[in-house]
Every structure is written in C-alpha cells, then in structure tokens.
Structure 1
Amino acid sequence: MNDLAARIDHMLSLSDLPENTPDEIRSAIRAVPRHQFIPVVALVTPPGTAPRLIDRDADPRAWWDAVYSNTPVITQLNDGATPVRDLIGRYTSSASAPSTVADMLTLLRPAPGHRVLEIGTGTGWTSALLCHLVGGRGQVTSIEIDQTVAEQAAKNLAGAGAPVTLVVGDGALGWPPGEPYDRVHVTCGVRTVPYAWVEQCRPGAVIALPYCPDFGGGHSLKLVVRPDGVAIGRFPGNASYMMSRPQRPRPTLEARGPHEQRSATTRVDPRTIAYAPPGADLAISALTGLVSNFSAETDEDGDCFRLWISDPTDSYSWAGVLWRPNRKDYEVYQVGDRPVWDEVLDAYSRWVGWGQPGRDRFGMTLTPHHQHIWLDSPDHPLP
C-alpha cells in the first residue's frame, strides 16, 4: 500500500500536470487508483518512442510504471477488431493521460450534489473520479457506444465501488431519463456539438468537451448554458482525443476523371499550414470546414513532406501539397470542383490579417439550429 501511495503521489507531482488542478480533483485521483481500470495487457505510446505493450504478468514493474506515469494507455484497436498485442491499428479506446483527465475535470469543476452526464465511459476511471467528486448514488450517468468496452467498464466500476449509471448507446443523444444535468463531461472528440447535451442541462450548467474539427490539433471547449437554451464558451487550451465514432472524417480520396485533376505550384511552404498555431487552425476549420493530415517521409527522391487537405463530406474534393528541400515552389495536386488548397490559403491570410489571434480569443455559440465560431465576442461570428 505504501508503494501504491508513492506511485500516486509521483503521478500527481509530475511537472506536466496542470498547476491549477484543484485540491478536490487531486484528492479524487488519490482516492480512485488508476490501476483498477487498466487491463493486464495494454499499449502505451510515450512521446518520442515507438508503441509498446505493457503486460502485468510478463513484466509487472513496467506495467506499474506505465500506469502511474503521465501517459495514455491504449486499451482497444480498430473498434475491437484487432488485438492490442498486434500493436498496429487505429486507437479506438483508452485511459487518458492523468494530466488530460485533470485538465478537463478542472474545466468542468463538478461539485457535491451535481448531476453529471459523461459521454464516453472508456475504462471507467473518469466516471469513478466524477462519482467521487459529486457523491451519492445515481448522480453520474455515463454513456459508452461500444458494448464490449462498456461491459469491462462496468466490472471496473463495480470493483472500485463506484455507483455509476452505465448506458450503452450513442452519446450524441444524451440520456433524457437522467436530466436535468449540472455538468456534461465529454471524453471523445467532436466537430459538431450535439444540441441534446445543452437541451438536457439546467441553466448555468457547464459542458467540457474536446472540440476536434480535424484541421490541426484539437481544442478544449468550455460551454455554459444560458436560460434561453443557448450555450456559449471559449477554447482555453489543447485537447487531443479520439474522435466520436459517428463523427470520424475519413473519406476515401478519389477522382472521377482527368478533367477534375489539376497540377500547379505554390510558393507557400505546406509546413506553414501543417504547423500553424492553434488560432490559425481554428480559423481555417471554421472558415472552410476542411480537414487536414500530414506526414514526413523519405521516398526514392529523398526527404519530403506531404500535406493533405480534404472535404470530410466529399471524397472527390481534396488536395495534396508536396515539400522537398531546396525548392522555391512546391507541387500542388488538386482534385474535384472545390479548390480546397486555395480556400485554405485564403483562410490563413484572413487569420494573418486579423493580427494572428491566439486560440483563447475564439469562442463558440451553440443554439438549437446551428453552431458557429466567433472571434473576441459572440457578436463577431466568423463569416
């Protein structure tokens, strides 16, 4: 037990845990040990290293060290179709890094007596933390879309003595039987915030979620529900989460014919867009609705960098931009009627013209009919 307490204290003292983490959240992390929610075999990806397995039976020391470090633990690949031991595949469920959990709970600020709706149960650790923070039986409802993940979470929660109401279903619909909620805690990335979450809240309720439009990185978003049913909030920081299953933007990039394939050049280094600050990412995604991904590679012609821009609703509208060293111009290959690369450059130029505002100057308004991003004030929505 002393060794466990030391491990928990070490995790809480890590330099990258948020300095503003309230004492009650630190106390909850002490009271709900993380190892109770980690499977015997899992996958970890510490920064700068290749993915590796942790196996409590084969190497207990490495397992315990990973569980009580500030790293996410991957518990599912490819929605359960691939065993974790295979190492390769889409990460589809995990126990988030302790710093990430603490950061989102700090935004949420659950208090004793609050009714909480959680979207995405995962291993159940954050559900148990929420249960500890608000107290009482039936105060926390958690929705998990994956039946197998939910079954394991139920076992974990029962073993930890956490009386969470666990529902298997689509979290975008919320859970009307448990409303009205004082807090909504979201553990999966979304680009479209379901209004059902607002509709099932009391006025003054807080919704903390990872906003992940998939252009650049993700952003934490704290919304507050007004008496008129409109939710308004800002983007206080970074949030890197797996996307909600119904909102994964992965169209297959296609082309109908030669007339829709165009080659050109650009003077803009594609890395300027790929590594743009979070404020630029927010502006570009809000103005265009496009998504991006990139990779640094080495091919038969040497080192290169590829940036892909695509319309998540149209597999025939996309662009690839290729960087190579010692070039003044970079190749652009566009497909479809929509000039997605040109739109991105225009949006980036607008952001520069606004004075390159940071992420904290942007916010979101969510109504029953739409969501929109604004700059500095809700009265200034992005066009």
Structure 2
Amino acid sequence: MNLDQRITALADRLTGLDDRWRSAVRAVPRHLFIPDRAWCDSRDRPAHLIDRNTDPEAWVDAVYSDAAIVTQLDDGATDIARGKGDYTSSCSAPAAVALTLGALDPYDGDEVLEIGTGTGWTAALLAHRLGDGNVTSVEIDPAVHTTAAGNLAAAGRSPRLILGDGSAGCADGAPYDRVHVTCGVDRIPHSWVGQTRPGGLIVIPWIPRWEGGHLTVLTPTGDGTATGRFHRAVGFMPLRSQRWPLPSLQDAYRDSMTDLDPRRVLRSSYGADIAIAALHPHVYATHADRPEGHFHLSLWSDDSDAQVHYSPEHKHVAVLQRGPHDLWDEVQDAYLRWLSWGSPPKDRFGMTVTPEGQYVWLDLPANPVTEPGGPRTPHAQRQ
C-alpha cells in the first residue's frame, strides 16, 4: 500500500471511534509524529529498532501498525538505538489512543486539557476534532515539549502547549469540559477534578502498583469530588512524579509457607486485581512462569519485599518476606476478602476522588472498599 492507503487503513481499523475521530486520524497522519529512529514495542514480535534512513519500508510498517513507538529512554539519557532502559516517552499504540479518545466522547466546542503531550499526535487529533483553540496540552519534559511543538507545526496544528508538571493541571484556562490523561496514574491529582466542569469527564489510565492498569472515567459532581467506573485494561508509562522506587534492603528473609496458590491470585479476575490494589496500594508485583510448572511471584513496596515460589513437587508454597510489611500476607488477605465478597468482577467496582484522597467502591460510591485513610469492609454484595 502507498502512504495514503496506509493512513486510511489505520483509520478504518479503529472501529471503536466514530466517523469524526476516524476523519481526524486520516487528516493527522501518524508518521508526522514519529522520529527517524525509534523503538517499536509490538505485541506481534520482540521490541526492535526502526530506522527510516536504513529501512524506510519497515519504519512505515511499524508506524501504521498497532504498536507503541517508544521515542525516549531514561528521560533522554540513553540512546534510543540501545533499546535497554526505562521507556519514558512514546507515541501510544493506535488502539490505546482510540480507547481513550472514544471514552472522552467530547461535544463540539468542548475545551480539553491533555496531560502528557508526548509526540503530539493525540493533541493533534484533539485539535482537528475540536479546534486548536480548544485544546491545552501539558508536557513536563523540555526536549519532548520542543519536539512535539515541531511535529504539530509540521502537521498544521497549533493547540496551546504548556511546559510544566501535568499533575498540577493548568489552572489558566480552567474549567475544562474534558481532561485527557496519556500517562499512567496511581494517585489521581485532585487538581484535575477542580479544573473540570461539573458533569465533564476525566479519562485516566489508572495504573496501580498491583498488576496492570484500568481505563477509568470519572465525572466531577460539583462538590469537589469526581466518581466513575473502571473499564478496559490499559498499559501506560507512569506520570513522572509517581514513578515507583525499588527498595534497598539488607535484612534477612523470614521463612513461611502458604496453602494459597499464587497463580490463582494473579489469574483469577480483574476484579481481584482491583480489590488487592485498593486494599494494599503500596504493593507492587511481578511474576513469571518457570520451567516444569514452577511459578514465581515477587512483591515489593517502598520498604519491604517478598518472594513466593510455587512448585508442583511440593504440597505447600514457599514464602520469603522481609521488611516491616509481610507483603504476601497482605496480598493473601486482600484476595480472600475479595472471595468473601462473592468474587465480584471488574465492572462492579468504581472510584471516587475527594480533596482528602481517593477510594474504591463496590457497586455504589456509598459502599466503599477503601477510604482515603485505608481499607474497610464493604456491605454485602448487591445483586
């Protein structure tokens, strides 16, 4: 296919978008926002370098696939060609962009605050759909901000670009009808609630420390709070002010065993993931299948860690824990609580953000699982 055909094919594949958004995808070609060298993070093959100068066909193939294109490593400290390091800026995969823009559901003339300009592609799509003067996009990284401005100018778009910390929003221009967040957020900044009109929408990739992320759509209710539900699974780079440190521990592990299979905890349900993340928001997890049926789970927080290893050769599961928190015990307790609630699925949970913090609820905001100060037990499940 030639370039015009590729652009049209990409727009046609994004079936979650209405015709106005697909028109924006056709009018704002993605390749205008991708540098000559970048790192293609695709689900179909291992992540790899794309270079327009050495292999232009492969570069275009990657740009018009459903792949995230990573444009910065380690805040710019590492050459993108190395591919090793933390992903710190990217052009999100088209399907993820379609998911968030579809959830945004703006009216004509709506004013949108975008958190995280990145390459500028989503800002350009918003500007085409709503008008340049109705879009404000905030970017914290000076180099990324400058590059995005050049990309947008090349595409003929001129939304308002702000260099600053997106966690503070942009009070100059508030209130906004919509807030579009392009980075993962664990703790929702209340500034976004205060800068959105009552009845507006805040579309956020909620990325707690525990297992994956969830597209979250919140509506401010006019009393300083915003509430809404969790939707599709998503994955985004974290907001820079909310990156998670790894602990540096020297104390010895405490040995114990558990009868709970850690694979059940990790693979039961997105509902279990939300319950664990809500009840113990300080716990981070990674896990991996090992040869011959073995499974390993690593847990950590700012001051503790745990290792849980399942072996099909043993009746009990080995647990090692150190630091002031017994992280596996906390996770196990949260999972068993979720079971005691009737194993509610993801779509029965939601979140409310208040000036004091945020809490997760089951079925209704009046039935909290957690409060800004910590966990609690919800009422019996509602049918």
User: Do both proteins adopt the same fold according to a TM-score greater than 0.5, normalized to the shorter chain?
Assistant: yes
1:176 is paired with a residue whose SS is coil
Matched, 1:23 2:19: yes
Alignment partner of 2:217 out of 204, 216, 222: 222
Match of 1:271 among 263, 270, 275: 263
CA distance in 2, matches of 1:209, 1:367: 16
The residue that corresponds to 1:86 in the other structure is: 82
Amino acid at match of 1:190: V
> Secondary structure at the residue paired with 1:130?
helix
Matches of 1:74 and 1:327 in 2, distance apart?
Answer: 42
Aligned CA-pair RMSD: 1.7
C-alpha deviation, 1:200, in angstroms: 1.1
Instruction: Name the CA shift for 1:36/1:53 in 2 (closer, same or farther; >3 Å).
Output: same
**Deviating runs (4+, > 4 A) in structure 1?**
none
Matched residues, number: 370
Specify the code of the residue in structure 2 equivalent to 1:365.
T
Moved more, 206-215 or 324-333: 324-333
Aligned to 2:185: 190
Once the two structures are TM-superposed, the CA of residue 88 in structure 1 deviates from its matched residue by 0.9
Which range is displaced more, 66-75 or 222-231?
Answer: 222-231
Give the Cα separation in 2 of the matches to 1:55 and 1:20. 30
Equivalent residue number for residue 280 of structure 1: 272
Q: How big is the shift at 1:110?
A: 2.1
SS of equivalent residue, structure 1 residue 152? helix
Deviates further, 287-296 or 360-369: 287-296
2:7 equivalent in structure 1: 8
1:107 match: 103
- SS of equivalent residue, structure 1 residue 234: strand
2:92 equivalent among 90, 96, 115 = 96
Correspondence for 1:123 among 119, 123, 143: 119
2:254 to 252, 257, 262: 262
Determine which of 308, 312, 318 is the counterpart of 1:321: 308
Deviation at 1:48, TM superposition (A): 5.0
The reply on whether 1:308 has 2:298 as its aligned counterpart is yes
**Contact 2:116/2:137 (CA < 8 Å) preserved in 1?**
yes
Gaps of 5+ in 1: none
Q: For residues 28 and 368 of structure 2, what CA distance do their matches in structure 1 show? A: 42
Q: Name the SS for the 1:178 alignment partner.
A: coil
Query: What TM-score, normalized to structure 2?
Result: 0.92
CA distance in 2, matches of 1:49, 1:339: 38
Partner of residue 49, structure 1: 45
**Percent of pairs with identical residues:** 47
SS in 2 for 1:282: helix
Give the whole-Å Cα distance in 2 for the aligned partners of 1:332 and 1:57: 51
- Alpha carbons 1:292, 1:307 under 8 Å: kept: no
CA deviations on 1:119-139 (whole Å, 9 max, x unpaired) are 00000000000111111x421
Deviations 1:331-371 (A, max 9, x none): 11101232221111111011112221111111111111121
Map 1:171-186 → 2, pairs under 5 A: 171-186=166-181
